[in-house]
A and B are shown apart, each in its own frame.
Chain A
């Protein structure tokens, strides 16, 4: 069944999701939503990997996806902890209100 869908469709969908994620990081100001947009970017890459992997008939790409998921989980743990520490200090999670450091 999967062979019925050309590779370009997977890549097109993945690149659209990646763009949505990138725009989200650049536009949104809430740290949690920025972080969700980053997760969206990582997952679009996963889709690219799986698409290529199926197309090439090579499992290495699918193995890579597992590692990406593990790394994304580790990043989520660290990221939410940092956001929590920020909230305890400043009572805000909006990134534009975090501006002590500047030149």
Chain B
């Protein structure tokens, strides 16, 4: 292990569930407003996992009031309280950009039963 990895290991989370593109996840985000802190959830399909180590990010897409919304999170950010995997998706790609052009039923991902 090189020196930089040792530095990063201090900041890398170990309690993250194993999820991949196509899975449905619930992300609990810490929101700080002045001195108060509350939790906001963002639930949707993971369309991309990018990077490794401390730079690892994932993008979640959901349809909110018929408008597509995507958010990218740093996996190891302290602002993420928890990540929960809800369903395992059946997909053939690691990047699900095609979902952006689909509407209606086709914009959904089939889940394992």
A, B: real partners: no
Question: Hey, which bits of chain A sit against chain B, CB under 8 A?
Answer: none
Question: Hey, which bits of chain B sit against chain A, CB under 8 A?
Answer: none
